[in-house]
Amino acid sequence: MSPSASRVTIHMAASLDGFIARKDGSVDWLETPDSYAEGETMSPEYVVAFLKTIDCYVMGSRTYETALGFEAKGHGWAYGDTPTYVLTSRQLPKTRPSVAFHSGDLATLINDQLRPRYRNIWVAGGGAVAGACLKLGLADELRYSILPVVIGEGIPFFAGLDKIVPLHLVEVRAYKSGMVALRHEVRREAAATA
């Protein structure tokens, strides 16, 4: 497959004030009690079909550990059998064949290893990985799901990004849960000259 046919999407859920987790990494506040009457519903069938369109995941080590923690609590493994690349220089448990660890350069991983092989590459966080993807111009698209809560302080959606990245709004969807899902394309021509 041609690398240009691939698409790198950063997806994260965040509080209205832009945090993906509390400072201690906890995400208990993701369960909000809101209900938005005009919102759409997401059927389990839709979610399953949507997740099948994702060809691989990329995530940081803390996001991986959070996912393992969910699994340990009986909530299951969120990424199915889809190949999952975990960025880390630490020794972490490899719990399934679909998980691979990568300790090298993020740009090399995405541009040289993943883009030629996968069409729909999904960066699942956390903030440091998302920030690095944007900073290095590796992402094509941002999907930002905003929950109806303000948490005041925590781990920011984009960490370590020190430049302005212009976006193009592509889609806005609001759900019955009170979550608002925004989709933006990264304006590459502008990002390259920033």
Applying CB under 8 A, does 41 fall inside the site for its own copies? no
Question: Shortest distance, CB of residue 93 to its own copies, whole angstroms?
Answer: 31
Question: Shortest distance, CB of residue 171 to its own copies, whole angstroms?
Answer: 9
Cα angle: 143, vertex 84, 69; to 5 degrees: 85
Applying CB under 8 A, does 13 fall inside the site for its own copies? no
| 154: preceding bond cis by omega (within 30 degrees) | no
CB contact set of 69 (below 8 Å; sequence gap of 6+): none
Q: Is the Cβ of residue 119 or residue 173 nearer to its own copies in the bound state?
A: 173
Amino acid at 1: M
Q: Tokens for 68, please give them.
A: 């393992």
Q: Is the Cβ of residue 13 or residue 182 nearer to its own copies in the bound state?
A: 182
Helix (H, G, I), strand (E, B) or coil at 99: strand
Q: Is the Cβ of residue 77 or residue 175 nearer to its own copies in the bound state?
A: 175
Residues 123-162 within binding reach of its own copies (CB under 8 A): 131, 134-135, 142, 144, 146, 148-153, 156-158, 161-162
Q: How many CB atoms lie within 10 A of CB 164?
A: 8
Identified binder of its own copies from the candidate list 29, 81, 124, 126, rule CB under 8 A: 29
Amino acid at 62: R
- How many residues at the interface with its own copies, by CB under 8 A? 42
Cα angle: 130, vertex 48, 151; to 5 degrees: 40
Applying CB under 8 A, does 193 fall inside the site for its own copies? no
Helix (H, G, I), strand (E, B) or coil at 66: helix
**Among the residue ranges 15-23, 48-56, 67-75, 108-116, the one whose residues contact its own copies (CB under 8 A):** 15-23
Applying CB under 8 A, does 80 fall inside the site for its own copies? no
Indicate if the alpha-carbon torsion angle 85, 86, 87, 90 is positive or negative.
Answer: negative
Task: Using CB under 8 A, list all residues that contact its own copies.
Answer: 16-18, 29, 32-34, 36, 39, 131, 134-135, 142, 144, 146, 148-153, 156-158, 161-170, 172, 174, 178, 180, 182, 184, 187, 190
